[in-house]
Each structure stands twice: as structure tokens, then as C-alpha cells.
Structure 1
Amino acid sequence: MPVSESLGTEVNQMVVAKPFTAIANVVDTSYFCRVPIFKNPIFQFIHISDMSENKNVFGILNAVALLNQIRKDFRVLFVGKKNEMILKHAEHLNVKDQCDFIGEISYFEVAEYVKKSHVGILFSKSESQSCVVLEWLCSGLPVISSRVGGVVELIQKSNGILVDSNDENELYCAMNELMNNYSKYDLNQISEDAINKYSYQAVARQIMSVYQSIAENRKEL
């Protein structure tokens, strides 16, 4: 049971192909849920990761610099291990005033920062799925993500925008577009749809359905 169709297909290409059912990662929706009153008064993007090369934080900062040239009414919150090279790059681009690097924090604190944010940004070079994207969606956040791996299966026009991996100009345009059209997104519907798919209860039902199907097939043998 891979977490995405993309991952299952990749595995089948490396070994003897087998039928599979993709079941998504699970989200603790007691933490990650929609709370409308929490939004930051300044439009806030959020990025959560280990700040590794694969997460392409440098690319996000380059897109922030482009957006910063045409507007100043936003902030980008970076949650995860602080990286001196990333901090220096933000300073070099002169976007430190638009960015907050808060380091590593507790799971509860992550959820609180997500609730205060407007949009999640993921610009990874590769992903099997992405737990943070699921958490953002359950919290009612539209998502901007690179078009990689299982994330492609999560994002549609109704809940976000997909961009080409490493295309910083396209990311900048998506950020600007989402700011301009934020009111067109149904945040409650984004949250409801995601919770119905990725909550503990929803994923448990999917897993039980797979095992019941296997058990029924064995009885027929």
C-alpha cells in the first residue's frame, strides 16, 4: 500500500510489478483543521521542511525576491532547521524583511502557525507524497507546489496551483496569482474534502477495505 499512485508505479518499475492500492499518509486533524479566526492580518505564505537541498528553499527565496519587486504586502514563514547558507541567501536577495525563519518547533506550534497562514508552499525536486501538503489542506490552506511525485494527485484548481520544479518565475507568478485571487478559494471546502480523505478515521476505513478485499479473495481460492 504505497502512499501515492506515483510511488506505487515507481516501485513496480524496479521490481516485479504487482497490483496495489494507494493509501495516503494520515493527518492528526485534532491539530490540523480549519480555524477561520486565526489568520494573520498580513498575507502569509508558509513553508515547512528540513531545509534540505531537495526542498529547494533557495528557489523559493528567489521567487520571493521577484514578488518583492512588485509588492510588499506579504510575508513568508519558514519552519524547520535554520541553515546559515539559506539565511545569507535571503540577506543577499534583500528579502529578510519579507521572511521569518523560526527554526524547529513542536508539532502543536507547527499547527498553530499553519492556522495563521494563508497559503502553503512546497517547491521540492522530488516527493513520494508530502505530509505537510496534507496538513495544509486539512487546515483549509490552498497549496502551491512543484509538479512532482504524489503531490500531483493532491492538488487541483480548487485547492491550489502546480508549477514546474525549479521554475522560479512560475512559482513567483503563482504566488502573485494566489494573493490576487485568494477570495475565490473555498477554504472550508478545501478543509472538509481533505479531512474526509486523510483523517485517522478516513485512512483507517481505506486500510480496512483493502484487508477485507484480500480476505474475501482468499476465501474464494
Structure 2
Amino acid sequence: MSRKNILWLASWYPNRYDKFNGDFIQRHAQAASIDNDIYVIHLQDAIDISGTDEEVNTQGGLTEKIIYYKKGSGILGKLVKQIRFFTIYKNAINEYVQKHGLPHCVHVHVPWKAGLLALWVKRKYRVPYLVTEHWGIYNDIVEDNIFTKPLYVRKLLAHIINESERLITVSAFIGKCINNLIASKEFIFVPNVVNTNYFKFSGQKYKRFTFLHVSNMVELKNVNGILQAFKIFLDEKNPNVQLVLIGNQNYFYEKKAIELGIPSRNLNFKGEVLYDEVAKEMQQSHCLILNSNIENSPCVIGEGLCCGLPVIATRVGGIPELVNEVNSILIEPQNIDNLVFAMKELYNNYLSFDGRSMSENAKQMFSCEIISKKLNDIYWQIEKVN
């Protein structure tokens, strides 16, 4: 099969202000570029520039164009910002077409607002587009949910999705939620990508049994529940174990740990660390804990499994699609007793988990090569609009 030129319009993407913004989209792009030539355009507002600035990075089959534009303030400033956003984005797309010709298709990641540009491309250039939705707003649980959005946003989202040639979701859960709340559209499940050059089985473990939590430490991750359960676990078992927490350095949780009386020797807040360092922590740990109240398709579960790390996670969102009885223990959300029981079970039966086998199986679901093949098959199904 010959390589196709695919234009990606990404609402979120890593940039110089936030290297983690949509990093999972970037990993999808890296995977897709194995078999096709991917050109990403992302616009990022900024307060420290007067006009526009841009970065263009090319590696192999992937080109990333990040355009920075002045962020407005006040009602008038926000209106000017929206006009500037669409003008700059359209100019960037036109420039791409002039230089590279029409793409085989446009691939939108997070339809609000990049999907509006895909609609424009479809009308102007007769080029079809597909949508991958990563945004976990299609519920009534998260604070910033779909029902908090203005009616016009919901209607436009439905129109973008309905006009797409394919709807891809990173979990079947979010696909079903979209169907129930926004638009009736058949969807294709393509999971998040794990870079198995980093996240792979090692066999080298901490000397002490280690529970690991990795997240952005927001309230929905229920880190408080993890700390409370860990304290009970320590008091009941009194083992020589540790809990390592990676993510935003939130001193609230450190104070909470002190209030609970968790000994400092059993607890390690590492803050934010680099991607490859997360992999090393997963390789050295014995169990990953994710105690979320709601989730879409958390990247850390795939990363942990590719390291051969058994998982304790809540039975919410798309999590049950990623795990099975061989590699995980699922618990109910906001249930400390459930979490304590699962920690005891995993601690006592750790040797029954075959890390090497778990890692090999996870690669067949999350690796770049697997995701590239899935996306390539979808691209080959897309035909130009007549």
C-alpha cells in the first residue's frame, strides 16, 4: 500500500506552554506516521506575543505545525480572538493545500473547535474528514460536562460528528455516550497509544512492595481515597511497603497524608516527571492504582500493562474495556473498603500475576504498530467526496 497524505486538525496538542496538552494525540500521530504522511496543524493562544508565531517540526512521516496567536481579553478581545483563530487556521490549511495538494482526508482530533475547520474544508475542497473524540465530557459526572455547554455548541458538535465519514473513539464507553447524548453515529474503537520503547517489561523491581498512582491529581482521580485506603492497609498488615504518587505536586495531599498519620517512609510524592521516568517507575513498581470516580480511556492503564504491571482500578467509563481478570482487580468507585480489599488481594497474590505475559498481550492492543495498522485500514476505507 502506498502512503497517503493525511491532514490532522488537532484542538489539543503539546506546545511550548503545555507539553502534556493532548500528548496522547501526539502519540496517535506518531503511530499513524508509520504508514502515512501526517501533517498536524494546531493553534495555541498565548499572552506573551503581539501577533503570531509558529513552530514546524518534522520527523519521519510526521510534520507538526504549531501556530501561536495573541490571546484576547474582555468581551471584545474574546470576539477578536475567535475571528483571528478561524482566519489563521484557514490560512494555514490553504497554505498546506498550495504546498502539498489536497490531502486524502482530514482527521480531526477533538471536534470542538477544529471540527468546524473540517466542515469548511469539506465544503471548499470536497475533502472528507473523520473525527476522533478524546474529550470525556459526555456525561453528567464531570464538572465541565456536555450539559454545561451552550445549546449552539452541542448542536454544532452533533453536526460535526454527523457530517464526518467516520467517528473514532478511544473507548467504546465514550462512543456510546456520544450516541446517547449528542449524535447517533456508528463508531470505531481505537485505543490510546503506548510507546513500547519505554513502557515494556523489565523485571527489575523496588525492594519494597510498591503501589503506584499516576495522574494529574485532580479531584475526580480520588487520590484522597487512595491515601485513606493505604493508611488502613498499613495499619492492618503493617508490611514494609510504599505508595509512590506521580503527578501535579499538590501539597493538599501531602497535608492529608500527614493528617492520616501515614509514615513518610511509606510514602513518596514525586510530582510531575518526564515520560520515560514514568515508564521506569512503572517497571519498578508492583501494582498500579487508579481510583477515579469517572474515566474515559486512561493512558496510564495501557502503559502499566505494557510494563507488566497489574492494575487495581475502578469499574467506571472505559476502564473495563482495557483490563481483564488476568491483569487487574476492578473495584467500585468511592469505596474505600473495596480498595483496601483489592490491595490486600494483590499484595498476597502478587506472584500469580505473570508480568511478562501481561506485557506481551498489552502490546497487541496499545503499541504504535498496532494503532498504525488500525488507522491505516480506516484511511483506506475513505473515498473522496463526489
On whether the aligned pair clears a TM of 0.5, the verdict is yes
Deviation (angstroms), 1:18: 0.7
Structure 2 counterpart of 1:50, which letter?
N
1:202 to 353, 361, 370: 370
Match of 1:56 in 2: 222
- The answer to whether structure 1 residue 19 and structure 2 residue 198 are counterparts is no
Tell me how far apart the structure 2 counterparts of residues 168 and 155 of structure 1 sit (CA, whole Å): 21
- The answer to whether structure 1 residue 106 and structure 2 residue 252 are counterparts is no
Correspondences of 1:49-88 after superposition (within 5 Å):
49-71=215-237, 72-88=239-255
Match of 2:329 in 1: 161
Tell me how far apart the structure 2 counterparts of residues 74 and 172 of structure 1 sit (CA, whole Å): 14
Correspondences of 1:159-198 after superposition (within 5 Å):
159-198=327-366
- The answer to whether structure 1 residue 32 and structure 2 residue 199 are counterparts is yes
Tell me how far apart the structure 1 counterparts of residues 365 and 382 of structure 2 sit (CA, whole Å): 21
Instruction: Report the 3-state secondary structure (helix = DSSP H, G, I; strand = E; otherwise coil) of the residue aligned with 1:149.
Output: coil
Match of 1:3 in 2: 170
Instruction: Report the 3-state secondary structure (helix = DSSP H, G, I; strand = E; otherwise coil) of the residue aligned with 2:169.
Output: coil
Q: CA RMSD in A?
A: 1.5
Deviation (angstroms), 1:84: 1.6
1:119 to 284, 287, 294: 287
1:45 to 183, 190, 211: 211
Instruction: Report the 3-state secondary structure (helix = DSSP H, G, I; strand = E; otherwise coil) of the residue aligned with 2:244.
Output: strand
Tell me how far apart the structure 2 counterparts of residues 157 and 188 of structure 1 sit (CA, whole Å): 16
Per the normalisation by structure 1, the TM-score is 0.94
Match of 2:25 in 1: none
Q: Deviations over 1:124-178 (max 9, x none)?
A: 1111100011100000000000111111111211001000000011001101100
Deviation (angstroms), 1:206: 1.2
Tell me how far apart the structure 2 counterparts of residues 109 and 16 of structure 1 sit (CA, whole Å): 40
Q: Percent identity?
A: 36
Which of structures 1 and 2 has the bigger CA Rg? 2
Tell me how far apart the structure 1 counterparts of residues 382 and 344 of structure 2 sit (CA, whole Å): 48
Tell me how far apart the structure 1 counterparts of residues 183 and 256 of structure 2 sit (CA, whole Å): 45
Deviation (angstroms), 1:214: 4.3
Give the number of aligned pairs. 217
Match of 1:135 in 2: 303
Tell me how far apart the structure 2 counterparts of residues 97 and 35 of structure 1 sit (CA, whole Å): 25
Deviation (angstroms), 1:212: 3.0
Q: Deviations over 1:87-146 (max 9, x none)?
A: 111011111332110111111211111111011000011111000111000000000001
> Which structure has greater strand proportion?
2
Of 94-103 and 188-197, more deviation after overlay is shown by 94-103
Match of 1:91 in 2: 258
Structure 1: give runs of 5+ residues left out of the alignment.
Answer: none
Per the normalisation by structure 2, the TM-score is 0.55
Instruction: Report the 3-state secondary structure (helix = DSSP H, G, I; strand = E; otherwise coil) of the residue aligned with 1:166.
Output: coil
